[in-house]
Structure 1
């Protein structure tokens, strides 16, 4: 195996992981600016039969959405940089080579096997992953039995691939969850009535009902303090992977997973040097 190409493969792969982590930091910084801004306001809805209060919430900044997609793309690319670089170092040919992931262990194992022959006795065309088995059998075995890049294994590698593919076609738009409104105050216009509260829950949407007074005059209360709003962002419940999971801890777990995978692949593949 060519040592220079070997080292270059992991150098470029780790640069991609570094960039993914920068995108994660960028998304966190944008969210910090957003959550500390006037991103939501209390709306006083006055009707003939009473008075209610709602939160009107601004959409999550597009910069967060773009940074999330870019992070997944860089992590997926890091895996491919390592595998294609290894094949280039070992065989001189990395055409159509990518890091193997699949929906299940069985499907991944099948992709490593010889495709056999057709009805005419001619050898079927082998998938690119079969070339990895022939060139780096120890690594192929380790990928299948230790790294486990398939759905639900806990490695997150298949899920990273899926998220990257989703972002290629549609933006990964996170859902904002309002978890607390601290120090909200309203007072009765006539009299001494006060409404002081810390409101907790899980509120999502662009207009969220807060509280309601029925059978009172429409201007019974007025808002004194809108309070401090706390929130978090999560992947949409309808997303095919990471559904409902908090965005930033999930991205951090993915960065750690790819880092550990690269370390493992490098250690195993170094036996061929």
Structure 2
């Protein structure tokens, strides 16, 4: 099995040689950073269409974590184009964090279309270092299809816990590695290196549930689900929330 994965990775690498060459020469990262937001504009529409019921279920009780003022303070990490805005409760104060500044013009459009929200600010920063956000300053942190592409999951989750107030909640919806005995997992391993380059650092084989289970949250509600309408490589998902 390991030999088959190696040989198929080699074949994929040969077929995708131009991409690997651009990466080796240092050009691919800049190209990807500019093109990826445009891709996400289209992908986010489809993802919301296919996952709308899951998102509505996930975010249905967000308002329960609002502070004494009744207004929910929410930070979305890896906000992208703002595709989650329509699922947030009216009056919600939203701070967006993303390491790619090229998302901002698409985010502004989503803000203009989301009059029910109170947009606070867009912070250009990686999830591993959100020092612009104060300790214990938000009620809820949200990530959707983000933990697959961060460089250090443990550090990101540590930062999530830092910015959450005591009793605050971390909501997540993430694609993850399939079960090791499946063909999906086999092809995830084969295509992972190319996928990583093509989709701005996204990993197909992340076992993100392990990082969440080991993060020290006071409570964790996590489910493994399938997203059958998505590309088969990213159908395995985890969904849930954790309390600080």
* TM > 0.5: no
Identify which of structures 1 and 2 has the higher relative contact order when contacts are C-alpha pairs closer than 8 Å and 6+ apart.
1
TM range (shorter): under 0.3
